[in-house]
Structure 1
Amino acid sequence: MDNAQGYWVVIATLLVAAVLAVLPMPLWLVWLRPEWVALVLVYWCIALPHRVGVVAALLAGIAMDLLEGAMLGQNTFALAVVALLSVGLYQRLRLFSLWQQAGMVFVLIGIHQLICQWVQNLEGVGARSPLFLLPALSSALLWPLVLTLLRGLRRHYRVA
């Protein structure tokens, strides 16, 4: 496979994740929305640490800041931290069982949520309860599905 097709698959999955991140949902369900972009980014950072990392996170973060109307840099910084940790831990994460990986995804997405919450608190619009961490839980619970789906795409398109 050539490099262009591999990057196309990564970009396409990040775009799908961005669409899922901004799809309208009922208000009672918004708190449980998984962090789709962070989930996909974690997968690619673990699967292809030599190709997907902080630069991809910065670009995805800027796109998410613009899509969500968030303070410019909020998602950028949070996703860059998540990517840096994922790339730094990828050898260890690959050895973990599926549920151990899900636990680490909970921690990584939780860090993402904490950074975003911190920025929102600086703006004066942060949540007043710990419910802002629920997306970390829903993301961790969806990790097995995301891992299986993206691994299948990576193998089908021979992304290396």
Structure 2
Amino acid sequence: MSQVVPRGRWVILFSLLAAGMLVLVPMPDWAAPARPQWVALAVMYWAMALPSRVGVTVAWMGGLFQDALVGSLLGQHALAFALITWIILKLHQRTRLMPVWQQALIVLPLLFAVQLVLFWVNGLIGRPAPPWQAWLAPVVGAAMWPWVFFLLRAARRHFGVQ
């Protein structure tokens, strides 16, 4: 008996890998602290669009992937991404019906929560506080939400991911 892989699983995986690659794109030193949490944005989209297929476990794995990519404490991003995905799963029926600009206003505090968790964990292990520009990352991420939303929605529709 052969197992059937759900249609579109590779689209979700590819989008998370692409988001991970965006994390590695070189940026000037002055702009690097404001880099959006690309993997978090992708996980939030998929959790909102397909809550039955993308949940806390996928968010945890995406966070571990980002931890490995950037060399941060293993589990740091995983904890933050799992937290925001749990919140998205609780709110997904309401947020799916909102216009994209209103969704960006929901994404903004969630990205701030990611930053708070990351800063908290770094503080626990004795790392120095990040520069103040790191607080721009959630704002930039929320500003990028419409583009992330429309790109991933187009991919989901094109490949028939359900």
TM range (shorter): over 0.9
Q: CA deviation at 1:124?
A: 2.0
1:98 and 2:100 aligned: yes
Q: 2:138 aligns with which of 133, 136, 139?
A: 136
Say how many residue pairs are matched: 159
Q: Relative to 1, partners in 2 of residues 1:159 and 1:128: Cα closer, same or farther, differing over 3 Å? A: closer
RMSD of equivalent CA atoms: 1.4
Please give the alpha-carbon distance, in whole angstroms, between the structure 2 residues aligned to 1:41 and 1:67.
16
Q: 1:69 aligns with which of 71, 83, 98?
A: 71
SS of residue in 1 equivalent to 2:63: helix
Contact persistence 2:33–2:131 (CA under 8 A): no
SS of residue in 1 equivalent to 2:96: helix
TM-score (norm 1): 0.94
Taking every aligned residue pair, what percent have the same amino acid on both sides? Answer: 42
Could you give the per-residue CA deviations for residues 32-79 of structure 1, whole angstroms, max 9, x where no partner exists?
A: 211100000000000000000101011111111111111111011001
Contact persistence 1:117–1:126 (CA under 8 A): no
Q: 2:85 aligns with which of 83, 86, 90?
A: 83
1:20 and 2:38 aligned: no
Q: After TM superposition, which residue ranges in structure 1, 4 or more long, deviate above 6 angstroms?
A: none
In structure 2, the partner of 1:118 is: 120
Contact persistence 1:117–1:132 (CA under 8 A): no
In structure 2, the partner of 1:29 is: 31
In structure 2, the partner of 1:38 is: 40
SS of residue in 1 equivalent to 2:27: coil
Q: CA deviation at 1:25?
A: 1.1
Contact persistence 1:21–1:35 (CA under 8 A): yes
Q: CA deviation at 1:129?
A: 5.0
What residue identity is the alignment partner of 2:142? Answer: A
Q: CA deviation at 1:24?
A: 1.7
Contact persistence 2:112–2:138 (CA under 8 A): yes
Higher fraction of helix: 1
Structure 2: gaps (5+ residues): none
